[in-house]
């Protein structure tokens, strides 16, 4: 591994970020990596409130907030959980976050409109997982392949209505190789790719959203059943790291806002289906079929419809966020002009909105288009 080259790349990323604003990054070497303090992050992104109580550091403004705890690999941005690429550290009276996590997570989430090479989204490519002989996970009410397809069809209907072109890696219950799925996605430009799966395990519950791990970062997939490789190689999809994580955050936040589900975080992983894609791409694990309560909810048409609507909303949120241009205004004007101009890709979760929670729905045995 070319460690020296990697470090210089990360430093270059921070310098790029730093050039955009007046505040300077004060890089601190820890564990052979570049780190910065959360106080520095607060200063750079102009969070007026910064506190550090026990091991929890908190940065917030009226619009947005970051929380983290030294000793963990977790970060909360506007109430949405992210797994960091490297651990949050404590040093003296400072808590530190890696430069990689600032440039690959915090920056694209907080300032999606600064992501380079982000295009207006014209086409959405849905990739319902599995299909044909490969049913994926299953529970007593149905299969992962059928539930995933139904969520995609619900999202498709909504996005077509909103004027997007929508493509499916599989239009029905047919098998597709992961390479075929990637190649299909790569035949579209001005497009995004959303792969839909459901999880299974003993005791698990909630949603996970994955973006391709940046080069030099170990995959942190909780489930290794979708062809992840746990190395640190650079892949074709790494050209869109910032777009990938922004799309992942938009998907994750939209589902949390619409459905009452446990937040298992946005992750970086190296799933096969995300590695060689040339458009922004994410993989959603939309819940655990193995969980008695969640599995039953996923089996309802109403729940899958809500998840489809959330995906459609996520694409529109992503598109609006990355393409926002302050029409020639200076950044100072744009930042004073709060929402929508300075809106993070993950909007704060509002307490006054009760997410969909309808346990009265009956699991539907026949699934639209699934078989």
Instruction: Name which position in 79, 87, 108, 129 contacts Zn ion (CB under 5 A).
Output: 129
Under the binding rule (CB under 5 A), the answer on residue 287 touching Zn ion is no
Of the pair 24, 224, the CB lying nearest Zn ion is at 224
Q: How far is CA 147 from CA 101, 184, 192, in A?
A: 33, 21, 21
Q: Is the Cα torsion angle 65, 218, 26, 118 positive or negative in sign? A: negative
Q: Which two structure tokens, joined as six digits, stand for 350? A: 């509002």
Q: Are 292 and 136 in contact (CB under 8 A)?
A: no
Instruction: Name which position in 111, 176, 181, 197 contacts Zn ion (CB under 5 A).
Output: 197
Residue in the block written with tokens 């939209």: 254
Q: Which two structure tokens, joined as six digits, stand for 324? A: 């926002």
Residue in the block written with tokens 């149905």: 142
Instruction: Name which position in 87, 128, 136, 237 contacts Zn ion (CB under 5 A).
Output: 136
**C-alpha R_g of the chain:** 20
How far apart are CB 228 and Zn ion at their closest, in Å?
12
Question: Can you say whether residue 117 is alpha, beta or left, with left for phi > 0 and alpha for psi between -120 and 50 degrees?
Answer: left
How far apart are CB 280 and Zn ion at their closest, in Å?
20
How many C-beta atoms surround the C-beta of residue 286 within 10 A?
29
How far apart are CB 123 and Zn ion at their closest, in Å?
23
3-state SS, residue 277: coil
3-state SS, residue 226: coil
Binding track over 223-262 against Zn ion, x by CB under 5 A: ----------------------------------------
Of 18-26, 125-133, 203-211, 325-333, the segment contacting Zn ion by CB under 5 A is 125-133
How far apart are CB 256 and Zn ion at their closest, in Å?
20
Length of the chain: 371
Of 20-28, 39-47, 64-72, 124-132, the segment contacting Zn ion by CB under 5 A is 124-132
Distance CA 271, CA 221 (A): 8
Of the pair 202, 330, the CB lying nearest Zn ion is at 202
How far apart are CB 310 and Zn ion at their closest, in Å?
19
Binding track over 319-358 against Zn ion, x by CB under 5 A: ----------------------------------------
Size of the site for Zn ion (CB under 5 A): 3
Residues that bind Zn ion (CB under 5 A): 129, 136, 197
């Amino acid at each position: 591994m070319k460690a020296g080259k990697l470090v210089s790349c990360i430093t270059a990323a921070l310098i790029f970020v730093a050039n955009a604003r007046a505040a300077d990054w004060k890089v601190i070497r820890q564990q052979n990596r570049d780190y910065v303090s959360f106080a520095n992050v607060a200063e750079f992104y102009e969070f007026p409130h910064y506190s550090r109580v026990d091991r929890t550091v908190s940065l917030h403004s009226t619009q947005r907030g970051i929380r983290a705890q030294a000793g963990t690999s977790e970060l909360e941005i506007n109430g949405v959980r992210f797994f960091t690429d490297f651990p949050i550290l404590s040093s003296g009276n400072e808590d530190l976050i890696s430069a990689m996590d600032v440039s690959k997570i915090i920056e694209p989430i907080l300032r999606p409109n600064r992501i380079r090479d982000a295009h207006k989204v014209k086409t959405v490519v849905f990739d319902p997982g599995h299909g044909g002989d490969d049913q994926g996970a299953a529970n007593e009410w149905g299969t992962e392949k059928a539930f995933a397809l139904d969520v995609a069809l619900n999202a498709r209907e909504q996005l077509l209505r909103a004027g997007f072109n929508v493509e499916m890696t599989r239009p029905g219950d047919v098998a597709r190789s992961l390479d075929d799925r990637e190649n299909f996605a790569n035949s579209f430009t001005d497009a995004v790719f959303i792969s839909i799966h459901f999880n299974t395990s003993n005791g698990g519950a909630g949603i996970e959203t994955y973006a391709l791990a940046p080069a030099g970062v170990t995959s942190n997939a909780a489930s290794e059943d979708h062809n992840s490789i746990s190395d640190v190689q650079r892949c074709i999809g790494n050209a869109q790291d910032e777009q990938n994580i922004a799309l992942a955050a938009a998907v994750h936040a939209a589902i949390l806002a619409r459905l009452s589900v446990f937040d298992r975080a946005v992750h970086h992983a190296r799933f096969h289906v995300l590695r060689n894609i040339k458009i922004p791409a994410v993989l959603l694990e939309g819940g655990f079929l193995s969980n008695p309560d969640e599995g039953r909810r996923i089996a309802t048409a109403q729940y899958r419809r809500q998840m489809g609507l959330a995906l459609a909303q996520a694409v529109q949120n992503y598109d609006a966020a990355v393409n926002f241009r302050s029409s020639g205004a200076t950044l100072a004007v744009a930042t004073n002009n709060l929402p929508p101009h300075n809106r993070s890709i993950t909007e704060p979760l509002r307490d006054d909105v009760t997410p969909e929670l309808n346990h009265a729905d009956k699991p539907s045995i026949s699934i639209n288009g699934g078989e």
